[in-house]
Amino acid sequence: MNKFNNDCECMRMPTIGEVAPEFGANTTNGYINFPQDYRGKWVIFFSHPGDFTPVCTTEFMTLQSMMDEFRALNTELLGLSVDSNASHIAWIQAIKHDINFQGWKDMEIEFPVVADNTGMVARKYGMIHDAAGNTDTVRAVFIIDPRGIVRTIMYYPKAIGRNITEIKRILIALQTSDAFRVATPAEWIPGDDVIVPAPGTAKEARTCSKSGNGRNWFLVFKHISPDMILNKITNRKMIGNEKKKTKKK
């Protein structure tokens, strides 16, 4: 039986391109009004199944280790589970004093974690999937842009930890697409060619064909260097050459 009030069952989860649902809530860093308090910044808003759980602990520590990289991309992290604020704080303290993962220890989790023990916020965002267990949240990820618009939604099952480097790659791709008005092909990372918008008229298609693209007028690439991307989307060189970079623990 669902422990939450079923009055919120009828809520429709947001989809890509829509405004992120508003809420006010206590967090481990104080009270927030979302997304108003984050206007002008990108946000990675994610849910975890529960405090004091092993996979979630590894995710939190990985996110914290990359927090400066996200902030260099004008991005804040915001977590949530259907636990109380007291539980969140106790878990964060346990991570700091008791956990050693991948060589990280004495780690302070600095990003806020939303207390949602009624499940109201989780329901608004479709973070609770009844078939997967209706008393806690799945591993949902929402990437929300500086205007408060949902740009990416990802779901992971409870037993599988998220690839935080992939989440960062998507964030950079979104920012690159916005900044240069391009699309990114499969497997794209900074330094790879991007895709320019396809011609919108037959005349533009003919012009494109004459320029040497021939039958491939609908798939045209151009190069944007990692430095150009960095100069456009951040003031600090935190992205680096992602193609050659290996994740350091």
How high is the pLDDT of residue 215? 56
Asked if 147 and 201 sit in the same domain, the reply is no
Asked if 157 and 177 sit in the same domain, the reply is no
Asked if 167 and 60 sit in the same domain, the reply is no
Asked, for residue 56, whether it belongs to a domain, the answer is yes
Signed CA dihedral, 92, 96, 97, 101: sign only: positive
Asked if 138 and 186 sit in the same domain, the reply is no
Asked if 106 and 140 sit in the same domain, the reply is yes
Asked if 140 and 233 sit in the same domain, the reply is no
How high is the pLDDT of residue 111? 98
| C-alpha span between 95 and 104 (Å, rounded) | 10
Catalytic residues: 56
Please give the tally of structural domains in the chain: 2
| C-alpha span between 172 and 91 (Å, rounded) | 30
Q: Which residues of the chain have pLDDT under 50?
A: 1-2, 6-10, 214, 236-249
Asked if 172 and 133 sit in the same domain, the reply is no
Burial 113-122 (b: 16+ CB within 10 A, else e): bbbbbebbbb
Asked if 108 and 185 sit in the same domain, the reply is no
Structural domain including 59 reads 6-162
Asked, for residue 1, whether it belongs to a domain, the answer is no
Asked if 119 and 234 sit in the same domain, the reply is no
Asked, for residue 228, whether it belongs to a domain, the answer is yes
How high is the pLDDT of residue 183? 96
How high is the pLDDT of residue 219? 87
How high is the pLDDT of residue 238? 47
Asked if 23 and 136 sit in the same domain, the reply is yes
How high is the pLDDT of residue 35? 97
Asked, for residue 77, whether it belongs to a domain, the answer is yes
Last residue of a domain, one of 162, 194, 214: 162
| C-alpha span between 35 and 199 (Å, rounded) | 36
How high is the pLDDT of residue 131? 78
Sorted by sequence, the CB contacts under 8 Å of residue 2 that are 6+ apart come out as 130, 134, 135
Asked if 20 and 121 sit in the same domain, the reply is yes
Last residue of a domain, one of 115, 144, 162: 162
Asked if 128 and 38 sit in the same domain, the reply is yes
Last residue of a domain, one of 112, 144, 162: 162
Asked, for residue 168, whether it belongs to a domain, the answer is yes
- Which domain CATH number covers 205? 3.30.1020.10
Q: Which amino acid is at 149?
A: I
How high is the pLDDT of residue 58? 97
How high is the pLDDT of residue 201? 74
